[in-house]
C-alpha cells in the first residue's frame, strides 16, 4: 500500500469513528478520557522508553538542550499529561448545547444545536504532550483526531497514541477516533492537507513558517493559530507606574510564548515621564530594546530599530519601541505590523480606551492589563487547543465550543412551504 | 498598471474602507443603505440601459431564454432590489453584540463582542441583483464587499456598483466599501482567491464547479455555499398522506433551488402503502422518478437509477428513490451520497426522529417538514448571503451575524499575570 493509500485508509477510519463518536453522551466520553488517563499512567515506563529513543536521536542530530528538554518525557510529566486529560473530562460537554431556538410564526420549531466538527487534523511541532492534550479536547467535543506531530517525536507519539487506542478499545469511544497520520515524510503531511471531504478542519500549531505552508497548500479549511506580534500602547493619560509594570510583565513573564509583548508604543506627551523609567526597568530585566530615533534620544543601550523589528515576533528578551504622536498613529502602526493576536492600551481616559478597543482589529484587546492574559485557562475556558489569529470560525483562545459546528433542527407537523 | 496591480490597489482600498466602516454606528450604515436604495431607483433607467447591453451580448452568444430572464433588469426589478436593501437597513446590527461576558476570578472583565470580518469577497454567477443584495448585507455588517459577478453581467454590475459608490460618497460609509474586482478574465478571479491578508473571507455562490475551483485554488478562507442534494426519508411509522405532501412540496414547489429534494428513501415496512401513492402524485406533478429495483417493482414509468443518480443535484423535475430496510440504512445512504445541506424525516415515532436528528450530519434536519424551509427568510433571519454547507464558521442559512467575527475585550486595573 502506498503512503497515500495508507493515509486515506486511516482518514476514512477516522471518519467512521467520528460518526460513532458524535452521538455519544457525555458520560461515555468522560469515561473514555479517564480510561486514557489511567492507561497513560500505567504505561508511563514504556512511553518513557520510546521517548528516550527520540531524545537520543535528537542528541545525535545536535539539537539544542532547550529543544531536548521540550521533547523529553518523564514518569512525572506523563502523570501531569494524564491529569490534564482528566481535567478535560471535568469540563462541560459543548455537544448538544442549544445556541439559538424558538418557534417561527408558522409554528415550526427551530433549534440551532452544537455538533462535533467531525475529523480534526492537527499538525504540531515540539512537545509530545500536545498529542494527548489535542486528542483529549477532540474526544470531549465528539471529534476524531488525526495527529501529525514532529518527526523528532515520532517514537514518543507512536507510543502515546498506541496507549490511547488500547485504552479506548475498552470504552464506547471507537479506538480509531485517535490516530497518527502514517509516515514521517514531508509528503505525508500533504496527504492530510489535501484531504478535503475526509478531514473537516486542520489546525496547525507551531511557528509562522509551518502555519504559512499549511495555509498555502491546504484545501481542508484551516484555523491559523499562534503567531503573536503583540503591542503595548502607553496612552498620554496612562498611569506611568502601571504602564511600566504592564510592559515588563507582558515582555518578561514568559518571553517565548505568543501572547508576550514584542513592541511598545508611547504617546509623545508622556514619553519624557515613561520612556526613561521603562528603559531602566527593561534593562534590569535583561531586555534588549530596539528603538526608533525618539526612543534612542533618551539614551540607554537602545539598538536602532529596522523595519524588520516592527514585524518581529522575537519570542526572546527583545522588544521594539517607538514614540507616536497620537492614539490613531499607534492604531495605524498596529494595523501595519501587528499579527492580530493581542494589543494592550494603558490609559486613564475612558474615551481613549473606547477608541483603541473599537479601532484595533485584534483577537484580544486589553485595557490596563498585560497581553499575557490572552489564554484559554486565564479566560476560564478550562483548556485550549490553540489561539486563533484568523477571523473565521474562531478568534482568540479556542476552547471546547470552538471545536464544534452547529446544526439546525426544524420540527413541524407536516409543514409545507407555500 | 497590470491587472494584478490594479486588483491589489482595489483590495487595499477596500481594506482601508473596511477600517473606516467597522466603527460606524448603526444609524450611519442604515442611512447609507437608504441612500443606495434611493440612488438605485433614481438611476434605474441608466442601469436598465447597461443591462440591455449585457442581454444583447447574451442573445448573440445564444444564451437560453431562461438564463436571459435571470440576467434581465427592469425598472420594476430595480425597485424591488432597492426595497431589499431598505429591508436590510431595518434588520438589527450584529456589530457590537456581546456574545459572552463576565468577570473573571481575578477581577478582569472579559467580553466577547461581534466585529466585522473586514473585506468579504463574493464570487457569483447569474443574476445582477446579487450585486446589491451582497453589498447591502456586507455594509450592514460593517464589511467592505469585493464583488466578482459573472462576466455576462459585467455592464450591469459596473452600472450598479457605480450608482452605489456615488450614493455612498454622500454618506459616512466610504465609497470604496463596495467595489468590483477589476477585469473579467479567469485570471482576475485568481487575484481575489490568492489575496490572503487583504481579503478576510471568500464566499462563492453558484454551481458545484465554481465552488470546487474556488475551494481548490483559494488561500483566502472560503465559505462553501449552496450545493444541495437533499433527501426525504419516509420512516416506517410515517403518516402516509403527510409523507406524500412533504415529498411533493420538497420536490416541486421550486425545483431549481438548493433546498429542493433530490432523493426519497422509504422504509421497507411502509413501502406498499407509500410508494404507489407517491409515484402517482409525482407523475401528476410531471416529475421523473429514478428508482432502484424495489421502487420499480411498484410499476409506473420509473427510470432505472444509476450510481450517478444518488449523487445528483438535479435542480429539475427529477428525483431518485430507494427502498431501505432501516432508518440506519437511510442515514448511511445520506452519509454516502448527500451534500450535507438538508434532510427530512417523516415519522410519528419520537425515538426515530431523535435517532435521525442525532445521526444525520447535515446543516439542517427537518422532522415532519419540507426541506424547502432551509432558508434565511424562513428561519427569520430577514435576509441571507447564502446557505453554508461547510462546518466551519457558519452552517446553514447565513444571516448578518454570520458575516461577523468576534473580538475579546479585557478590562483590568493594571492586572499582571503571575
- This complex has an ipTM of 0.94
Whether residues A373 and B415 touch (CB distance < 8 A) is answered with yes
CA gap A281, A201 in Å, rounded: 44
Mean pLDDT of A44-53: 98
The ranges of chain B annotated as CATH 3.40.605.10 are: 3-224+394-411
Q: What is the mean pLDDT of residues B53-57?
A: 96
HEC per residue, A106-135: CCCEEEEEEEECCEEEEEECCCCHHHHHHH
> How many A×B Cβ pairs under 8 Å?
205
Do residues A335 and A357 touch, judged by C-beta distance below 8 A? no
Contacts of A244 (CB under 8 A, 6+ apart): A274, A277, A278, A281
For residues A171 and A36, give the distance between their C-alpha atoms in angstroms, rounded to a whole number: 10
Per-chain mean pLDDT for chain A: 95
- CATH 3.40.309.10 domain extents, chain B: 230-373
Pick A392's closest partner by Cβ from B108, B221, B380: B221
Q: How many angstroms separate the Cα of A231 from the Cα of each of A166, A228, A259, B264?
A: 46, 9, 10, 57
Is pLDDT at A208 greater than 90 in this prediction?
Answer: no
Contacts of B364 (CB under 8 A, 6+ apart): A407, A408, A409, A410, B341, B342, B343, B371, B373, B374, B396
Average pLDDT estimate for A288-295: 98
- B94-101: which pairs have CB atoms within 8 A and are 24 or more residues apart? B94/B141, B94/B400, B94/B401, B94/B403, B94/B404, B95/B22, B95/B26, B95/B141, B95/B142, B95/B404, B97/B401, B99/B406
Sheet holding B178-180, edge to edge: B178-180, B144-148, B119-124, B201-205
Once rounded to an integer, what is the mean pLDDT over residues A189-206?
Answer: 92
Question: How far from each other are the two terminal CA atoms of chain B, in whole angstroms?
Answer: 54
- In the structure grid, which three cell numbers stand for residue B249, read together? 412540496
Residue B226 has pLDDT above 80, yes or no: no
Q: Which of A374, A409, A414 sits opposite B365 (nearest CB)?
A: A409
Residues of chain B contacting residue A361, judged by C-beta atoms under 8 Å apart: 19, 22, 115, 118, 407
Q: Which pLDDT score is estimated for B392? A: 93
Task: Provide the pLDDT for residue A274.
Answer: 98
Are the C-beta atoms of A241 and A323 separated by less than 8 Å? no
- Taking the CA atoms of B150, B152, B156 and B161 in sequence, report the sign of the dihedral they define: positive
| pLDDT tens by residue, B157-209 | 999 999 999 999 999 999 999 999 998 888 889 999 999 989 999 999 888 88
Residue A312 scores a pLDDT above 90 = yes
Sheet with strand B261-267: strands edge to edge: A98-103, A109-116, A404-415, B364-369, B342-346, B230-234, B261-267, B318-324, B288-291, B303-304
Using a CB-CB cut-off of 8 Å, the residues of chain B touching A374 are 408, 410
Instruction: List the beta bridge partners of residue A364.
Output: A342, B408
> Mean pLDDT over residues B37-43, rounded?
98
- B345 interfaces chain A, CB cutoff of 8 Å: no
Q: Are B124 and B204 in contact (CB under 8 A)?
A: yes
| Percentage of chain A lying above the pLDDT 70 cut | 100
Min Cα–Cα distance to chain A from B317, Å = 17
B408 and A379: CB-CB below 8 Å?
A: yes
Which residues 115-144 on chain B approach chain A with CB closer than 8 angstroms?
115, 117-118
pLDDT at B401 over 90: yes
| Torsion angle of C-alpha atoms A126, A128, A130, A134, degrees rounded to 10 | 130
Asked if B414 lies within 8 A of A19 by C-beta distance, the reply is: no
CA–CA separation, A30 vs B210, rounded Å? Answer: 43
Residue A231: beta bridge partners? A263, A343
Please give the grid coordinates belonging to residue A16.
467512521
A336-346, pLDDT tens digit by residue?
999 999 999 99
The mean pLDDT of chain B is: 95
* Minimal Cβ distance to B245: which of A112, A392, A416: A416
pLDDT over 80 at A278, yes or no: yes
Within 13 A of B349's CA, how many CA atoms are on the CB side?
A: 12
Per-residue pLDDT for A156 more than 80? yes
Q: B410: pLDDT confidence band, cut at 50, 70 and 90?
A: very high
Phi and psi of B118, rounded to 5°?
125, -105
**Residue of chain A whose alpha carbon sits nearest to that of B391:** A405
Quickly state the pLDDT bin for A45 (edges 50, 70, 90): very high
Handedness of CA A335, A337, A343, A345 (dihedral sign): negative
Measured CA to CA, the distance from residue B161 to residue B179 in angstroms comes to 7
Distances (CA, A) of B60 to B48, B152, B157: 18, 12, 19
**Cα dihedral sign, B235-B240-B242-B243:** positive
Nearest by Cα to B285 from B250, B313, B258, B310: B250
Q: What is the pLDDT of residue B212?
A: 85
* Per-residue pLDDT at B22 exceeds 80: yes
Helices (H) and strands (E) in chain A, counts: 15, 16
Instruction: With a cut of 90, say whether residue A123 has pLDDT above it.
Output: yes
pLDDT for A183 equals 87
pLDDT of A365: 98
Overall fold of domain A230-373: Aldehyde Dehydrogenase; Chain A, domain 2 (3.40.309)
| CB nearest A366 (choices: B239, B368, B410) | B410
Other CB atoms within 10 Å distance of the CB of residue B64: 9
Mutation target vs B (from A24, A245, A415, A418; most B CBs, 10 A cutoff): A415
Output the pTM of the full model: 0.93
Contact call for B201 and A374, based on CB within 8 A: no
Nearest to B108 among A118, A359, A373 (CB): A373
pLDDT at B185: 84
Name the residue facing B414 among A102, A104, A245 (closest C-beta).
A245
Q: Is residue A78 within 8 Å of residue A47, measured between CB atoms?
A: yes
Is residue A161 within 8 A of residue A106, CB to CB? The reply is no
Please check whether residue B243 is in contact with residue B278, taking contact to mean a CB–CB distance below 8 angstroms. yes
Longest dimension (CA), chain B: 79
Contact status, residue B362 vs residue B338, Cβ threshold 8 Å: yes
What pLDDT is attached to residue A281? 98
Question: What are A353-385's pLDDT values in tens digits?
Answer: 999 999 999 999 999 999 999 999 999 999 899
The pLDDT tens digits for B71-118 are 999 999 999 999 999 999 999 999 999 999 999 999 999 999 999 999
Round to whole Å and give the CA distance between A272 and A13. 64
Contact A411, A109 (CB under 8 A): yes
Residue A85 grid coordinates: 486529560
pLDDT for the residue A288: 98
Architecture field, domain A3-224+395-411: 3-Layer(aba) Sandwich (3.40)
Is residue A177 pLDDT above 90, yes or no? yes
Q: Which of A145-159, A208-222, B183-197 has the highest mean pLDDT?
A: A145-159
Can you give the pLDDT at residue A52?
A: 97
Contact assignment for A108 to B335 by CB distance below 8 Å: no
For residues B357 and A410, give the distance between their C-alpha atoms in angstroms, rounded to a whole number: 10
Residue A365 cell numbers, joined: 484587546
Q: What is the spatial distance between Cα A222 and Cα B115, in angstroms, rounded to a whole number? A: 21
Contacts of A242 by beta carbon, 8 Å cutoff, 6+ apart: A346, A368, B414
> Does the distance separating the beta carbons of B372 and A410 come in below 8 Å?
no
Burial class (CB in 10 A: 0-12, 13-18, 19+), B260: buried
Classify residue B183 as left (phi > 0), alpha (psi -120 to 50) or beta: left
Give the closest residue to A181 by CA, choosing from A153, A146, A155: A146
DSSP assignment, residue B122? E
The single-letter DSSP state of residue B223 is -
H/E run at residue B267: strand B261-267
Residues of A with Cβ-Cβ distance to B413 under 8 angstroms = 368
| Whole-number Å distance between alpha carbons of A116 and A403 | 7
Whether the per-residue pLDDT at A126 is higher than 80: the answer is no
CA–CA separation, B56 and A240 (whole Å): 70
Residue B165 cell numbers, joined:
459608490
**Over the stretch B312-325, which tens digit does the pLDDT of each residue have?**
999 999 999 999 99
CA distance B159 to A78: 65
From the CB of residue B100, how many other CB atoms can be counted at a distance below 10 Å? 13
| A52-90 residue pLDDT tens | 999 999 999 999 988 898 899 999 999 999 999 999 999
Q: Do A410 and B369 touch (CB under 8 A)?
A: yes
What is the Cα–Cα distance from B108 to B111, expressed in whole angstroms?
A: 10
Q: Cell match 427569520: residue? A: B380
Kindly state the percentage of chain A with pLDDT values over 90.
Answer: 89
Q: How far apart are CA A247 and CA A319, in angstroms?
A: 10
C-alpha cell at A258: 505568543
CATH number for the domain running over B3-224+394-411: 3.40.605.10
Give the nearest partner residue to A370 out of B105, B200, B417, using CB atoms: B417
Q: What is the DSSP letter of B272?
A: H
- Cβ burial of B207 (10 Å; 0-12, 13-18, 19+) is middle
* Three-class SS state of B166: helix
Phi, psi at B205, each rounded to 5°: -120, 115
Chain B residues closer than 8 Å to A372 by CB: 416-417
Compute the nearest-CA separation of A358 from chain B (Å). Answer: 6
Average pLDDT over residues A165-188: 94
Q: Do residues B185 and B160 make contact, with C-beta atoms less than 8 angstroms apart?
A: no
Amino acid at each position: 500500500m502506498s503512503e497515500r493509500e495508507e493515509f486515506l485508509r486511516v482518514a476514512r477510519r477516522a471518519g467512521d469513528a467520528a460518526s460513532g463518536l458524535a452521538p455519544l453522551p457525555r458520560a461515555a466520553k468522560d469515561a473514555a478520557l479517564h480510561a486514557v488517563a489511567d492507561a497513560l499512567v500505567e504505561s508511563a515506563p514504556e512511553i518513557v522508553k520510546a521517548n528516550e529513543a527520540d531524545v537520543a536521536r535528537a542528541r545525535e542530530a545536535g539539537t539544542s538542550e532547550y529543544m531536548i528538554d521540550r521533547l523529553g518525557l518523564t514518569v512525572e510529566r506523563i502523570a501531569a499529561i494524564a491529569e490534564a486529560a482528566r481535567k478535560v473530562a471535568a469540563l462541560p460537554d459543548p455537544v448538544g448545547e442549544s445556541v439559538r431556538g424558538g418557534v417561527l410564526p408558522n409554528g415550526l420549531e427551530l433549534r440551532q444545536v452544537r455538533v462535533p466538527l467531525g475529523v480534526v487534523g492537527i499538525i504540531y511541532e515540539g512537545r509530545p504532550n500536545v498529542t494527548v492534550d489535542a486528542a483529549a479536547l477532540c474526544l470531549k467535543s465528539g471529534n476524531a483526531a488525526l495527529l501529525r506531530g514532529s518527526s523528532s517525536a515520532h517514537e514518543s507519539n507512536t507510543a502515546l497514541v498506541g496507549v490511547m487506542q488500547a485504552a479506548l478499545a475498552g470504552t464506547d469511544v471507537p479506538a480509531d477516533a485517535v490516530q497518527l497520520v502514517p509516515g514521517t515524510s514531508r509528503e505525508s503531511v500533504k496527504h492530510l492537507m489535501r484531504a478535503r471531504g475526509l478531514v473537516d478542519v486542520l489546525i496547525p500549531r507551531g511557528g509562522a513558517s509551518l502555519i504559512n505552508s499549511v495555509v498555502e497548500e491546504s484545501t481542508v479549511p484551516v484555523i491559523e493559530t499562534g503567531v503573536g506580534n503583540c503591542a503595548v500602547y502607553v496612552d498620554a493619560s496612562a498611569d506611568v507606574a502601571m504602564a511600566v509594570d504592564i510592559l515588563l510583565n507582558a515582555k518578561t513573564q514568559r518571553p517565548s510564548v505568543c501572547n508576550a509583548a514584542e513592541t511598545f508604543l508611547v504617546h509623545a506627551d508622556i514619553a519624557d515621564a515613561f520612556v526613561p523609567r521603562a528603559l531602566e526597568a527593561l534593562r534590569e530585566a535583561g531586555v534588549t530594546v530596539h528603538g526608533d530615533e525618539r526612543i534612542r534620544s533618551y539614551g540607554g543601550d537602545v539598538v536602532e530599530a529596522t523595519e524588520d523589528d516592527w514585524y518581529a515576533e522575537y519570542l526572546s528578551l527583545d522588544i521594539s519601541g517607538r514614540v507616536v504622536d497620537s492614539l490613531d498613529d499607534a492604531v495605524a502602526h498596529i494595523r501595519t505590523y501587528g499579527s492580530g493576536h493581542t494589543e494592550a492600551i494603558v490609559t486613564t481616559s475612558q474615551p481613549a480606551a473606547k477608541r483603541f478597543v473599537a479601532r484595533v482589529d485584534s483577537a484580544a484587546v486589553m485595557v490596563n492589563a498585560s497581553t499575557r492574559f490572552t489564554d484559554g485557562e486565564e479566560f476560564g475556558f478550562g483548556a485550549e487547543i490553540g489561539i486563533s489569529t484568523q477571523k473565521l470560525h474562531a478568534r482568540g483562545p479556542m476552547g471546547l465550543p470552538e471545536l464544534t459546528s452547529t446544526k439546525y433542527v426544524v420540527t413541524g407537523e407536516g409543514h409545507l412551504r407555500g
